[in-house]
Amino acid sequence: MTGFRSSVVYQIYPKSFYDSNGDGVGDLRGVIEKIPYIASLGVDHVWFNPFFPSPGRDNGYDISDYCAIDPAMGTMEDFEELVEALGAHGIGVMLDMVLNHTSTEHEWFRKALAGDERYQRYYYLRDPKPDGSLPTNWVSKFGGPAWEPFGDTGKYYLHLFDRTQADLDWHNPDVREEVAKVVNFWRSKGVRGFRFDVINLIGKPEALLDAPEGTDDRAMYTDGPDVHTYLQWLSEQSFGQDADSITVGEMSSTSIQACIGYSNPANHELSMVFNFHHLKVDYEDGQKWTLKDFDLAALKRLLGEWALGMQEGGGWNALFWNNHDQPRALDRFGDADRFRYESATMLAAAIHLMRGTPYVYMGEEIGMSDPGYTTIDDYVDVEARNAFAELVDAGHDEEEAFRIVHSKARDNSRTPMQWDSSAGSGFTDGTPWLQPTNQAEVNVAHEETAGRILPFYKRLISLRKSTPVISEGDYEPYAPDHPDVLAYIRRHEGRRLLVICSFRGHETEIDVPEDFLDGEVFVSNYPARPLRPRLSLSPYETLALLV
């Protein structure tokens, strides 16, 4: 394992990676069987989405026991074997810590509901307003109000997500002690990597107030000042004691300034942060469930602002296009039909050569794209199904409502890993929990023997380890006003790398600085040709020149 600046993290959604026993659901033994493939990528860490016991209302992000393995996923012995087997290849394990909320099936919530006052203080329980209305006007991120009746007590509990995900009250020192115990339990199993889910929501104020009319209620509970205090305390009590720890915080609706604080080493909080602003450039008026072409100018501006802002403040970005909560980037920002190889490799270069730590989501490295689903019944995710119902209720016909959901659904990235062209995509001998659709054209077996996307990813991963200008260099935007191209320059100890990425399916031109014309063509997804001051770029071309 290398330092996190020169590392690459591979994300596995265990439920969809590889099914070892034919029940249609991926499991830990399946991951163990595929370790040779994971090691062949050259990655340094594997981030696993939750595989803890869970009712599954939010695909494992509703945890009922933080210190056990969901029986559908395997056993603790399987997990221990997995840590050891990955470690033999120099690959660390990164676990998903969902510490903003628990499942309502968790022992703490069940004890609270049974009347135990100690555990009632673990959650945000509030009386209705004097007029009988809900404690605040906050809206759940999954739709509907963020409050649910707490049994027959007359009180309500807060749930910023599904009603079965009750928010923990971190103001209570007992809660903080409990979550530190959770992190330390997994440290005792050899885990040195932790990804903290929506961690900037743990600093909600003690007095929960209505959002003023016409304002976004997220401002009332996001990036509160206590988040820094709590993260510093958690670091001191747990992962901060490990010299080789790597941590990343998922930051919901956050700011550059807040994320500088979370990831600046001087603050002793986290190694790096995820933000999602660049993945909202295809939202109409900021609304997810809309149909809109992505805004390249906004995408470039956001990537540039975050790269420069974090650089100036000493923070560090986690870089990504894909994860378990996003549709496939290939469909959003590329062309999976006409230019699958070109747009997949261009998107990879854009992220992997930037300042920050790249994350590769399983299947991205072989060019996986959104499934060819045709009906809402093909989807499992509660968020997609709720959104479809709300769109229909709002007056959309079912066909249009489905097109909108199909463009943004989280299940788009949760379809099984496509190992081969068989009916089950080599993922399972049984019936997959979510159906694959284009495995005949896109699969690991093809990429390993005759593909071009997988080798490109392997080269990018290798280059980060061997090339300090990539892992350590400064970032400077180049040609920021170009209508078709994202470009930037990296600088480190006299070496400079110019990265050019066309986001269009047509030819375009860009001026190349004279001093780069004699440089080394370091990365390219098209055949070599002479460099000229005015360079014509092919569809989705990427080019990196080193001097």
Mean pLDDT, all residues of the chain: 97
pLDDT above 80 (res 476) = yes
Whole-number Å distance between alpha carbons of 243 and 448: 36
User: CA separation (Å) from 42 to 46, 277, 457?
Assistant: 11, 29, 9
Sign of the four-CA dihedral 8, 332, 17, 70? positive
Whole-number Å distance between alpha carbons of 100 and 165: 9
**Residues in CB range of 388: below 8 A, 6 or more apart:** 376, 379, 401, 402, 405
| Active-site residue, selected from the candidate residues 19, 169, 250, 381 | 250
Quick: pLDDT tens for 14-49. Answer: 999 999 999 999 999 999 999 999 999 999 999 999
Task: Read off the tokens for 534.
Answer: 């005015």
- What pLDDT does 211 receive? 97
Mean pLDDT score, 116-129: 98
Mean pLDDT score, 278-296: 96
- What pLDDT does 2 receive? 65
| Active-site residue, selected from the candidate residues 19, 27, 58, 197 | 197
Mean pLDDT score, 279-285: 96
Q: What is the 3-state secondary structure (H, E, C) of 234-297?
A: HHHHCHHHCCCCEEEEECCCCCHHHHHHHHCHHHCCCCEEECCHHHHCCCECCECCCCCCCCHH
User: Is 58 considered catalytic here?
Assistant: no
Task: Read off the tokens for 255.
Answer: 């700011």
Task: Read off the tokens for 434.
Answer: 């979510």
pLDDT above 60 (res 1) = no
Q: What is the DSSP letter of 161?
A: S
- Reduced to 3 states (helix: H, G, I; strand: E, B; else coil), residue 62 is coil
Task: Find the farthest-apart pair of alpha carbons in the chain and give their distance in angstroms, rounded.
Answer: 76
Bridge partners for 492 per DSSP: 495
- Reduced to 3 states (helix: H, G, I; strand: E, B; else coil), residue 244 is coil
Mean pLDDT score, 209-231: 96
pLDDT above 70 (res 188) = yes
- What pLDDT does 59 receive? 84
Cα dihedral angle (217, 220, 222, 226), rounded to 10 degrees?
-170
pLDDT above 60 (res 468) = yes
Whole-number Å distance between alpha carbons of 309 and 311: 5
Task: Read off the tokens for 19.
Answer: 């099914």
User: Is 250 considered catalytic here?
Assistant: yes
Q: Are 89 and 35 in contact (CB under 8 A)?
A: yes
- What pLDDT does 382 receive? 84
User: CA separation (Å) from 519 to 99, 392, 489, 494?
Assistant: 48, 56, 13, 13
The helix or strand, by DSSP H or E, that contains position 77, with its residue range, turns out to be helix 76-87
